[in-house]
Structure 1
């Protein structure tokens, strides 16, 4: 089973929802935890359903701050225990796994005055927890000074308190990849900051239940927080997910039509047959190239995000993200036009079934 944790920093625009929909389609998680949605319950429910997630719990934002959402698919059973504006705590039951486990999606306060409230919340949850327990989200705190690059040094006392809380709750990092850099950039070079704020931690029972479980970041085309992909894998379970991107370019189509048509001097019917064969080859070639382009851009982005950043590297990261964003949008627009319905407005899901329906209509 896969789960996803992401500080989306607002889902109020169609573009942000498209990014989320693309990520869910690409990774196919069974459970998704979102932070800083900045939406009320009604709008968040609409965004969630448009991503194909029928079941969910929404904690609406306070004006333009906060907002949480936990969503899941029908093949798992999720029972709500308790929630607040800082967290959503549930029990999860999966097919093939006899024991229930506890998941807490946590959004740590970005304000120092509220940080103790979040840490006390973790303490209470730990006291009441008798299950394998996973906590994931944006803690808005780092454990050690080397987890921050740029900007003002983090206060040592705050980091010590955070480490003490995790030790008291017997929560351990699920590997190094469970921590990821977030970054921001202002008008000055010294404001280029990287911090490991997003992470996943678990107790010993959860680690024993999922001996192959891990957390890794996903390089993504939006700035700041990258999604965390949580792999709840036992020794019996190996999942492979693939993405099948495709999009026909209108301008390329016109040029290709002209080239294919003018390449033959045969009679009309023979030219039409030659055109059919040529367009079939062109379509298959283009689809393959589009898939390779997305993979290449994602790989380049991942490599650049791991490197130390100067102004030149930062510019390359921005260019790569813009290019990747364009490719994602082209894929969305293609299926929207092909189905000939306003599925983004009325909530039809961008799934393989929906694609097959569009192909059958053709």
Structure 2
């Protein structure tokens, strides 16, 4: 389901035609299909004339209750809007996008400057309750939600945020990820007297990200108002590159997992040896497990859901015909399948949430998935801004991110620098005869003879040197033999003394 872009903006008056044209231009530039303008100062009887002259193909809602404060607009060819509730501080409506079956709710808010009147706003929002469909709330609340919502001027006090925090504590909605300007209003005074405040906000319920997982809000400034406007959009990401390989613990509970891994691991390696051989096997097992997950495991969440639906279906059929032995067998198999998939699903949730335990209930699963979606949205980098210009093209965002990473971490890789073999010829080197003597095979007696030829006043530093030499060339077997000979020598020495 696609959602049209939405806009919320305190325009501080729409009586002038130049300002109307500027607002319309911004709506076209951001492809807005639904929006709300606050503090329009337009009388209810004049709005029809304004829209007939400038806003062609746009519809609107206004009434004597909200006129001059809230103006709801939308493009009729994109959306259909039904007004459900109006109040001097909010308008609540249901929106259906053209060509889509689903609908969502939107509440546009313009809070009063009086703290006492804003208490009625919080009560009205609370009275809407917990909606069972996607719900978004945006607008100019004229209220602070935290101590950091104002820079300059009077310090934010606890009483300033108490009512807003009490409303948020009801759990109806939570704030949507926002980008752009951190503060949405300024008094435009000179340096030292200038105040920045965050008065405009966007909230969503937990069902919003189920339907619109790529939604985000961006605040931008324009010179025609002392408020920044907010564009809410369902961003389309062109691609996310290659996802890293992640092993699923629940894979081990599927039939054939052990055989697939062992067959892949025991298959001969065409070339290489030692550590290179192990790396090749690990790569091969990784790709085998990815194919196993794709072909055998699949979507564990969907499989578990289908298994439960199948169990309910055959159980209802058996209840209608209790004497049917085939249905009884089907119920037993379906119950066994649900039990297996439930364990796999629990393992999947446990691994994803990084917890040691998790309770099984619809509310817990729903909260977990909502939290994971919110974290993915918050961590996604979809744009960057340089010199006041925002770039949103995915390929350019990736290129910019990589260039910044290389600038911070460096471009060179010392491990891959080629060795200059000419350096070896500038010092003492082994002759061919010494090469042969080092490479020729030796026996245990040769090692024993070499050990006993060392004078007693010599320091055992040769053991350290031998360790470094052998570790570098991988002669672990020879090292073990040397250690055995040394132990034998010490035992003989102790007996003599």
TM-based fold match above 0.5: yes
- Please name the residue that 2:195 is paired with: 193
| 49, 54, 59: which one aligns with 2:58 | 54
Matches within 5 A, 1:92-241: 92-126=95-129, 129-177=131-179, 180-186=183-189, 189-232=191-234
CA distance in 2, matches of 1:111, 1:299: 39
1:220-299 alignment runs, 5 A limit: 220-232=222-234
Q: For structure 1, which runs of at least 5 residues remain unmatched after alignment?
A: 237-297, 304-362
8 Å contact from structure 2 (residues 69, 110) kept in 1: no
Secondary structure of the 2:221 match is coil
Runs of 4+ in 1 over 4 A off after TM superposition: 233-236, 298-303
- State the SS of the aligned residue for 1:6: strand
8 Å CA contact retained: 1:139, 1:199:
yes
Contact 1:8/1:35 (8 A) holds in 2: yes
* Cα separation, 1, equivalents of 2:146 and 2:12: 25
- Does structure 2 retain, via aligned residues, the 8 Å contact 1:211–1:235? no
CA distance in 2 between counterparts of 1:59 and 1:233 reads 33
Question: Could you say what secondary structure the match of 2:166 adopts?
Answer: helix
Measure, in 2, the Cα distance between the counterparts of 1:12 and 1:22: 16
2:21 is paired with a residue whose SS is helix
TM value normalised by structure 2: 0.44
Residue matched to 1:42 = 45
User: Residues 201 and 176 of structure 1: is their aligned pair in 2 closer, same or farther, counting only changes over 3 Å?
Assistant: same
Q: 1:160 to 1:61 in 2, by over 3 A?
A: same
Task: Note the C-alpha offset of 1:130.
Answer: 2.9
Report deviation, 1:164.
2.3
Q: Which has the higher contact order (CA 8 A, sep 6+)?
A: 1
Cα RMSD after superposing both structures: 2.6
